[in-house]
Amino acid sequence: MIKRLLSVLHARNLEFLRDRSTLVFTLLLPIMLVIGMGFVFGGPERPLFKVGVLAGHLDRQAHPFLRERYVEFITLPDESAALRKVTHQQIDLLVDLHAPQRYWVNTDSPKGYIVEKLLLAAEPAAVRQPVTGAAIRYIDWLFPGILGMNMMFSCLFGVGYVVLRYRKSGFLKRLHATPLSAFEFLSAQVLSRLGLILFVTVILYVGIGAIIGFHNAGNVLLLVLLGVVGALSMIALGLTIAARFSSDELVGGLLNVLTWPMMLLSGIWFSLEGSPRWVQWVAHVFPLTHVLEAARAVMLDGAGLPQIAPNLLYLAATALAFLAFGAWSFRWRIE
């Protein structure tokens, strides 16, 4: 029995070592993740709070509050735009340190409550100002991110592994003998997954909405349009990975390389307000970032089609580009 076990073990090890692409990727993936996370989250100690300051220049020696540790101070010259960030919990507090000293805080924000105490300890004379507009709870801000994350995983892994299984089982090889083209096959996969994702997303939207009563100031049909275009973009992205490769390990690794940066940088859990410009630029390459930006604009601000049109155009363009590239590089059989 031991001899047979060792024979199979040896054969599997040789199979893995001879799959050069999977071997190299398995070695490089953790290195790339560590380096990437080091660039994004490395450096000095990270702040726990984000405070907007209505000023042209931050002089940390001018006020004791500006010297607080674990607080990131962001200069915001436009008061109306800054107040919107407070209501949407993109920043925890907004202060005007010119006399008379004023501040604005979202009373539904736990972080806002704490950083307000820090401000009053440093400047007891600061006066709280009423926040214009409806204060948004964190769950209201988070809800689109949860739906988007579920959509992302369903789009990427749901399509990628299905096509991979078809290829390894020889099903694609038999389809190749028919008049069916690669574009037609991929389009059918996209539409099938799109219908499933929209059905699940609608169920979650209605079910969770009935439980927690989230805030939605926009048009539901506009959200449906956004869901269709966003899902198409991410499904087509998953197909570009599965269109050519036949290794489970390689496809799984490549899909993880796509999903982890989107989870961290697309604004699912926290706002990237105050992050370095290059981090925000990288985040806007991902389709999920545009989905969440547009969804929050519709749900929290009541934005219409003109406001989210740039996001829709980007998602539509990437969907067409990914689908065209996937059809061009599609491989019917294992070589």
C-alpha closest to that of 274 among 121, 64, 37, 82 = 82
Residues 74 and 159 in one domain: no
Residues 263 and 234 in one domain: yes
Question: For the whole prediction, is pTM greater than 0.85?
Answer: no
Identify the domain containing residue 317 by its residue range. Answer: 138-329
Residues 215 and 276 in one domain: yes
Residues 69 and 179 in one domain: no
Site of tokens 């105490």: 117
Evaluate whether residue 266 is within a structural domain: yes
> DSSP 3-state assignment of 181?
coil
Residues 180 and 83 in one domain: no
Residues 54 and 143 in one domain: no
Judge whether 163 and 187 are in contact, CB under 8 Å.
no
Residues 200 and 300 in one domain: yes
Strands 93-96 and 49-53: parallel
Evaluate whether residue 151 is within a structural domain: yes
Contacts of residue 39, Cβ cutoff 8 Å, sequence gap at least 6? none
Judge whether 295 and 138 are in contact, CB under 8 Å.
no
Mean pLDDT of the residues in the chain: 77
Q: What is the tens place of the pLDDT at every residue in 185-220?
A: 777 778 888 888 888 888 888 887 777 777 777 788
Q: Which is more confidently placed, 332 or 221?
A: 221
Residues 206 and 271 in one domain: yes
Strand 127-128's sheet: what is its strand order? 71-75, 49-53, 93-96, 102-104, 127-128
Please report, for the domain that includes residue 85, its CATH number.
Answer: 3.40.190
Average pLDDT over residues 19-31: 54
Among 128, 154, 186, give the residue marking a domain's end.
128
Residues 213 and 288 in one domain: yes
* The pLDDT of residue 20: 56
Evaluate whether residue 36 is within a structural domain: no
Q: What share of the chain has pLDDT > 70, as a percent?
A: 78
Evaluate whether residue 63 is within a structural domain: yes
Evaluate whether residue 40 is within a structural domain: no
Average pLDDT over residues 229-241: 87
Query: First vs last Cα of the chain: how many Å apart?
Result: 34
Evaluate whether residue 334 is within a structural domain: no
* The pLDDT of residue 63: 77
Residues 108 and 189 in one domain: no
pLDDT band at 313 (very low <50, low <70, confident <90, very high): very high
pLDDT surpassing 60 at residue 221 = yes
C-alpha–C-alpha distance, residues 70 and 85, integer Å: 19
Residues 56 and 195 in one domain: no
Among 81, 104, 128, give the residue marking a domain's end.
128
* The pLDDT of residue 34: 52
Domain count, the chain: 2
Instruction: Give the DSSP per-residue string, 109-156.
Output: -HHHHHHHHHHHHH-TT-EE-PPSSPPPPHHHHHHHHHHHHHHHHHHH
* The pLDDT of residue 228: 92
Among 128, 161, 187, give the residue marking a domain's end.
128
Evaluate whether residue 61 is within a structural domain: yes
Residues 112 and 144 in one domain: no
* The pLDDT of residue 44: 57
Stretch (H or E) spanning 77: none
Evaluate whether residue 181 is within a structural domain: yes
pLDDT surpassing 60 at residue 16 = no
